[in-house]
């Protein structure tokens, strides 16, 4: 699942929260065993119990570090995380390539599960388009979007006419996609 990403990039970018948790917990357990072995071994060899105390402190610091890293990384997944910039570009390109779409007014994405993406977009259609034309445009844009991004399981496309004075809604209920 890591692919060609570094371990740190995998932890930072994984959409499945259980994978970094398992990885970091197991890594901390193995490092903790090494530190405990070293601390107890040095304490027995030197008869200086401070080595055991130092080993315990290092293990405690290791566990706190793992907890902080996991808290930071998993929080965004629990609260909702936007799609990757690559996915947003694919979605944007697919929608804009659909017949009848004059452009995207704004686009928001949200991971609702590791492999499920919610996409909400306000798309510009021609001012004189009929209801049937708008419905066909939305259907074409949705087909293109789902083809370009299979994780897009929930898609909401709102048609509108592009106006230069339009300001997107800035409510924080759905995180804005990166760069948009």
Distances (CA, A) of 42 to 16, 38, 52, 59, 101: 40, 6, 8, 15, 71
Higher-confidence residue: 61 or 21? Answer: 61
Q: Supply 63's token pair.
A: 């566990």
Q: What is the pLDDT of residue 3?
A: 67
Higher-confidence residue: 113 or 104? Answer: 104
Confidence tier at 167 by pLDDT (50, 70, 90):
low
Q: What is the pLDDT of residues 58-101, one digit of tens each?
A: 999 999 998 888 887 777 666 677 888 888 999 999 999 999 99
- Give me the torsion for CA of 38, 39, 45, 48, rounded to 10°: 160
57 vs 92: CA distance, rounded Å: 50
78 vs 71: CA distance, rounded Å: 10
Q: What is the pLDDT of residue 178?
A: 45
What's the whole-number mean pLDDT along residues 93-122? Answer: 89
Domain residue limits, the chain: 7-79, 85-160
Q: Which CATH superfamily hosts domain 85-160? A: Cation efflux protein, cytoplasmic domain (3.30.70.1350)
Residue whose tokens read 């890293």:
69
Residue 179 pLDDT more than 50? Answer: no
Q: Which long-range contacts (CB under 8 A, 24 or more apart) does 53-59 make?
A: 59/32, 59/35
Residue 43 pLDDT more than 90? Answer: yes
């Amino acid at each position: 699942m890591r692919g060609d990403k570094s371990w740190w990039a995998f932890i930072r970018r994984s959409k499945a929260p259980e994978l970094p948790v398992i990885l970091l917990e197991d890594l901390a357990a193995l490092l903790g065993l090494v530190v405990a072995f070293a601390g107890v071994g040095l304490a027995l060899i030197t008869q200086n119990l401070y080595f055991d105390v130092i080993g315990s402190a290092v293990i405690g610091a290791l566990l706190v570090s793992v907890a902080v890293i996991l808290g930071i990384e998993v929080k965004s997944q629990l609260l909702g995380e936007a799609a990757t910039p690559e996915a947003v570009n694919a979605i944007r390109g697919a929608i804009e390539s659909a017949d009848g779409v004059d452009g995207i007014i704004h686009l928001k994405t949200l991971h609702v599960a590791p492999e499920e993406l919610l996409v909400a977009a306000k798309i510009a259609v021609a001012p004189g388009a009929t209801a049937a034309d708008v419905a066909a445009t939305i259907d074409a844009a949705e087909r293109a979007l789902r083809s370009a991004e299979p994780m897009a399981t929930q898609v909401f496309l709102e048609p509108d006419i592009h106006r230069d004075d339009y300001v997107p809604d800035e409510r924080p209920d759905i995180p804005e996609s990166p760069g948009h």
